[in-house]
Amino acid sequence: MNLEASKNPNAITARNSFTYYHGMAHIGASVAPKIMNKSYTITIPIDTKQKSEGVLVAHGNHTSGYTIYIKNKRAVYEYNNMEEVFRIESKKKVPTGPSTITFEFKVTGQSEGIGTLYIDDEQVGTVQMNNLLDKIVSNEGLDVGRDRLSPVSKNYSKEGEFQFNGKIEKVNYELEPAAK
């Protein structure tokens, strides 16, 4: 963790790029990327085996947050907002070997936008998202390669931390300035 950021949490809100790695400790909510009211992209280069699945990134908990994971060889993005769930599940299977999972969110209005999921630059699904949280994603922080605390998704809540059993090269966030 950046010591300067821990002294001044506002330093986090000024940043537009974040990179995290598989095996990192839990990232506290106060120093996780502030995605509210911003267009952003999450890019995750991975390397999978035949039966790789699990959480790639999770931020939040069962009442509010988002997660990107692989289950049954499908890439899934979910955002929950006090039990209202927005979800994309790829029809295309995540290929065995190296690939990149990307989620892109574009703001279209106050607390709303369009989310798009990609596998290797191929669009595999979109979702219109409304009534999004505009102050904080969750009091629970961010995890890479697992969902350590209360699970964001009911779809893997019986899997424990649902630790990813492939390789995550990194999780990269690129944020645009906040929408006005």
Over the stretch 63-72, which tens digit does the pLDDT of each residue have? 889 999 999 9
In this model, does residue 32 exceed pLDDT 60?
A: yes
Q: Which residues of 81-92 are buried (b: 16+ CB within 10 A; e: fewer)?
A: beeeebebbbee
Q: How far apart are CA 79 and CA 82, in angstroms?
A: 10
Q: How far apart are CA 173 and CA 107, in angstroms?
A: 16
User: How many other CB atoms sit within 10 Å of the CB of residue 131?
Assistant: 12
CATH no. for 18-173: 2.60.120.200
What's the 3-state SS for 79-116?
EEECCEEEEEEEEEECCCEEEEEEEEEEEEECCEEEEE
Q: How far is CA 170 from CA 19, 104, 173, in A?
A: 7, 16, 10
Q: What is the pLDDT of residue 134?
A: 64
Q: Is the dihedral of CA 93, 19, 143, 132 positive or negative?
A: negative
For the chain, the farthest-separated pair of C-alpha atoms sits apart, in whole angstroms, at 45
- If pLDDT is split at 50, 70 and 90, which confidence band does 15 have? confident
Nearest to 98 by CA among 164, 167, 165, 145: 167
Mean predicted confidence (pLDDT) in 72-100:
94
Mean predicted confidence (pLDDT) in 117-136:
88
